[in-house]
Structure formats: structure tokens, C-alpha cells
Amino acid sequence: MLNASDLGALYLTFKVASIATLLLLLLGTPLAWWLARTRSHWKGVINAVVALPLVLPPTVLGFYLLVLMGPAGVVGKFTSSLGFGTLPFTFTGLIVASVLYSLPFVVQPLQAAFTSIGEQPLEAAATLRAGPLDTFFSVVVPLAKPGFLTAGILGFTHTVGEFGVVLMVGGNIPDRTRVVSVQIYNHVEALEYTQAHWLAGILVLFSFSVLLVLYTVLKTQPVAHPLK
Amino acid sequence: MTTLLARFRLDYGDFKLDVDLKLPGTGITVLFGHSGSGKTTLLRCIAGLQHAPQGLLEINGQRWQDSEHGLFLPTYKRPLGYVFQEANLFPHLTVRGNLHYGLKRIKQNSGTVKLEQAVELLGIGHLLERLPGNLSGGERQRVAIARALALNPDILLMDEPLASLDFKRKQEILPFLSRLHQQLDIPVLYVTHSQQEVAQLADTLVIMEDGRALASGPLAETQSRLDVPLAQEREAATVWQVSVTEHETDYHLTRVEFAGGSLSLPAVDTTVGTALRVQIYARDVSIALEAPTATSILNVLPATVTGIADGRDSQSIIRLQVGDQALLAHITRKSALLLGLQIGMAVYVQIKGTSLLN
């Protein structure tokens, strides 16, 4: 069965995923909105940057984050000067890495949902006295609800499943940065296959249930990230 | 009295809009033209949905745009109602939700009365709990019109509200629009490419072509202008607004009067005083120099020739003034020559047939 450090890893994993998903929706929504609406030349560049974590090995992303957030990195110097110290091997660092790692899984479904709404409902709202922010919350959010659900679920599950980035940026500190995927790795290294089975099984069951809900109840198309 | 002052200039390279219009503050003004003539762009500029870099727009004495002074009121701050070509209802809200969407956002409290009126006028009371997805095209468009009217706007803008509907649905909605016309006291700007809708609805007509307003003015006057292509068409006609004065039941006729004269029509089943629209095709009008004494044609009226132009092939187009109404006649060029028609001549017109529009 699960021991205390397994439970700690599970708890930590879901805590990281919850916070990261919340942050992802907060940051990803305006970014996706901008990408869906802009005619700027930067659109292509930003789209490419957002999609990078889809194709890069997580270790590459983790490596650069480690360097950037470390004592000699730009971000590290900045956080040190603010008195926060450096972020690698901390819970905050883990959150930052998770947000970047799962960004495309949140931004792309949202962007697709916003694009498919089109101009017409926005114009109708404007002729009915709704200002831009009002229109966003009273028309865009309800119409893009499936997009938000997909984005939230994919962001959450993808964060739960991360390994490479965590190992690079978070390390392997119990109850601070040791998430389930790392814990499974530890068990396997120590030839504790029973323990590994339990945790791995939980992750499979969890991920499958969530995706099942996504594709049957919510009837989302399996194309989670149409690269437009 | 309200007037609408609209001056816009924009240049998209392959499309240019350049208009300077002063329109009346009552009745329905129809912006008529083929696709690409700029009529919808003009309407969108008035609504603020499109931002013409050079523009001056004044409604009710209030400036909505003045590009020289950097003024551009965003659409949501303009007290207007807008009806889109596709009804454009919010799919996530019921009919009631759609109708209340705008109401919740205006400050004055007179809204609910207007809403009830609009629901009544458009006959949508039984649809309130339905979602737009479960409505027919005609019903959706009626809800869209009610949604715009419920706001008690200073002006109602309608962009080809019937264009996406089939013939049957059009016939279903036109009577509602005619009723609107009689019961509303706000100006309506109505975009269409349909001559039928022009004839049925317009009080004022603006003819658009290549991003310019070729002509604008009262309906019959603009319809009969010889310098616009409308007068040339085989279906050229003038529409008169008349009112019923008496019924000659023995003959199955109804007598109506217009500004400066009267006409006999086939019996119309309405009360005396009812306002009607009568369309007279140019090909149904003939001209005589003296009052014909023996003729089967009932409607013989004194008129003055106000314009002569060449029409297609053998045709001449004659513009006439009958009382206060303008009238078009298509006759052969030979007849025009034989009669020696000249501008200013007093003649008699014989109207062979009329068609009632409402």
C-alpha cells in the first residue's frame, strides 16, 4: 500500500497541478484572447513560442529554466534582488516551470474556442450597450465554456504527468518538490515495484477517467491543440 | 425634428466609401444598391462597427463621430438599435434572455414598456422560453428586431434583415415591418438590394453605387430621377402614399387621395382614412395632350412634364409631376416626338393599372 511519502507526493502533485491550472487559466485567457483577435505580425512568433513545450524534450525546457532562475541567471538575479532568493528546488520554482510546460495545453484550446466564436456575437453585444469587458464575461465566456473546460482539464492532467522538467527544476525534495512521477522513479530505482505499481496505477486511472469525461460527456474533439 | 448628418470617407484600396448625406429624422430611409455598393459599410460606419478614418456623424444634434476633433463614440455608447442580416441572436440565451440583454444595460426604466410593445408588435410572445437554435429563420429575425426595439433607441439600423430568408418568410415578416413603420416614431435606416422592399417600406430613398450616394430624397422623387439607372429599368415604377377616401361598392372600387389629386383602385377592404401604398409602373402610364373624353381608363390626371430622357431601344422616359407627386412614364420615342413633348408642357396621364403594396 501507499506509505507516508507516497501520500505526500500525491498531495504535492495535486497541489502543484491545481495552482498551476488556476494560474494557467488566469494568464492563458488574455493571451489566447489576444492571439485569437490580433492581426499583429507578432502573432506567429508568439504562437510558436507558446507551442514550444509541445515539441521540446522537457529536459531542455527544464535545463534553460534552471539556468535562468539560478543564481547567475537573469531571473535568478532579479528574484534575489527582490529578496526572494532563487527559485530552483523550491515549490514556487516548480509552479513556474509547470505553468510554462503546460501553457500550450491551455492556450490552444482557448484560442480555438475564441476564434470559433467569431466577430458576430461581439458586434451584437456592442449594439446592445455591452462594453468590451462586459461582452467578454457575458458572451465570450459562456460561448467558450467547452474551451475553458478542455483547457482546464488538459492543463491539470498534463501538469500531473510532468517529469523531466520537475526533475531538472524541482529536484527530488520530499514534500516540497517530489511529485508522484518522481516518486515512481525513486521506487523503480529502489526496485520497489509494488509501490511503483500503486502510484502508476493511480495515475493511469486518474488520467483515463478525466480524458473519458472530456471526450464523452463534454464531446470535445480529440484535436486538443490545433496548430493554426 | 431629428435629422441625421452622415459624412464618411474611407479607402480600402479596392473599395472606397465617400458619402455626404443629410437624412430626415422620421420614417424609413432605405439605402438601396447592389452588393459592393457600400450600403452596408455606410450602415456599419453609422453604428460605429466600422471606423471610417474621416467621418462626421450627427444624430439628434448629438455627435457620434467627428474625426477632426478625434471624437469616436464606441458602438456600445451609441443609443441605437441594430438588426443584422443573420439575426445574430446569442445562442446561449433564451429569447427572453436575448430580449433582456440590452435592457439590463440601459439606465432608464421605460424599457419594459417598450419591450412589451415590441413583443406584441412582432408576435413573438409564445417564443420567449425557446433557445434561438429552435426557431425558424423568420422567427429569429423577428426576435432580433424586437431585441433592438426594446432598447428604445434613437435610431434603428437594419442591414438587409430579410436577405437571408426565403420568399415565404419574407412575406411573413414584411407586414410586421409595415406595422413598425406606422407605429414607430424613430427614424429607421434600412439597407436592401430588393426593389420590392424599397417599394413597400421606403419613405426616403438613397441610391448607392460604388461607395457613393447617387441620389437621395423622398421615395417617388428619387425613383423618378432620370439621372439614376433605376428609371431605365423595365420594372421602373413610382410609389405613391395615398389614403382611402370612399368605397364605391357598386363598382367594387375604392377611391384614394394623394397630395394633389385622387385615384380609383380595385376595391380595398379597409376603413376610410387608412394609409396605403400604390405602385405605378412606368410602362402602365400613357400620355395625352388633351383630356381624353372617351376612354376606358378611369385614372386620367392632369400633369406637367418635368423631364425627358432616352430609355432603352425605342423608349423614352418621361418624368411628370401630378399634384405633388412625381410619376414616371415609359413611352416610345416616336410617340414622344409626335406629341412634341417638352419640359413644362401641361399634359394628361392615363394610368392603366396600379398595384397595391400593403
Domain tally for chain A? 1
Of A209-213, B14-18, B44-48, B176-180, give the range with the top mean pLDDT: B44-48
Q: Give the number of A-B residue pairs with CB atoms closer than 8 Å.
A: 61
**B145: three-class secondary structure by DSSP:** helix
- B151/A123 Cβ within 8 A: no
- Chain B residues touching A140 at Cβ < 8 A: none
Return the domain boundaries, chain B.
3-232, 237-356
Q: Which three cell numbers stand for residue A74?
A: 537573469
| Residue of B88, B108, B141, B149 to mutate, testing the A interface (most A Cβ within 10 Å of its Cβ) | B88
pLDDT at B110: 58
Residue A224 lies in a domain: no
Residues of B with CB under 8 A from a CB of A: 47-49, 74-77, 80-82, 84, 86, 88-92, 101-102, 105-106, 147-148, 151
Measured distance between the N- and C-terminal CA atoms of chain B, rounded to whole angstroms:
27
Give the pLDDT confidence score for residue A84 in this predicted structure. 84
Domain with residue A51: its CATH number is 1.10.3720.10
Chain position carrying cell 443573420 = B86
- With CB atoms and an 8 Å threshold, state whether A125 touches B147: no
The answer to the question of residue A72 being in a domain is: yes
**For A93-130, what is each residue's pLDDT tens digit?**
999 999 999 999 999 999 999 999 999 999 999 999 99
Q: Which residues pair with B14 in a beta bridge?
A: none
pLDDT tens readout for residues A179-217 = 999 999 999 999 999 999 999 999 999 999 988 888 887
**H helices of A56-90, where?**
58-69, 74-81
Amino acid B176: pLDDT: 81
Model confidence over B82-112: pLDDT tens digits? Answer: 999 999 999 999 999 999 999 889 876 555 6
Reported as a single tens digit per residue, the pLDDT across A13-58 is 999 999 999 999 999 999 999 999 999 999 999 999 999 999 999 9
Q: What residues of chain B lie within 8 A of the CB of A135, using their CB? A: 76
> Do A125 and B106 lie within an 8 Å CB cutoff?
no
B55: alpha, beta or left, given left = phi > 0 and alpha = psi -120 to 50? beta
Interface test with A, best of B89, B100, B101 (most A CBs within 10 A): B101
**Spatial distance between the Cα atoms of B351 and B348, rounded to a whole number of angstroms:** 10
Answer whether residue A225 is part of any domain: no
Q: Three-class SS string for A179-210?
A: CHHHHHHHHHHCCCHHHHHHHHHHHHHHHHHH
Instruction: Quick: pLDDT tens for B274-302.
Output: 888 999 999 999 999 988 888 888 899 99
| CATH T-level topology, domain B237-356 | OB fold (Dihydrolipoamide Acetyltransferase, E2P) (2.40.50)
* Cα–chain center distance at A61: 14
Q: Is the pTM of this model over 0.95?
A: no
Q: Is A123 on the interface with B (CB under 8 A)?
A: yes
In this prediction, residue A223 has a pLDDT band, given cuts at 50, 70 and 90, of very low
Backbone angles phi, psi at B216, to 5 degrees: -150, 145
B3-232 with B237-356: one CATH topology?
A: no
* Residue A12, domain extent: 4-217
Task: Examine residue A223 and state whether it is found in any structural domain, yes or no.
Answer: no
At B1 the pLDDT is 54
Alpha helices in B129-166 (DSSP H): 137-149
Calpha distance B257→B241 (Å, rounded): 9
Domain B3-232 in CATH: superfamily? P-loop containing nucleotide triphosphate hydrolases (3.40.50.300)
A228 pLDDT band (50/70/90 cuts)?
very low
Closest-CA residue of chain A to B155? A127
The answer to the question of residue A226 being in a domain is no
Give the pLDDT band of residue B61 (cuts 50, 70, 90).
Answer: confident
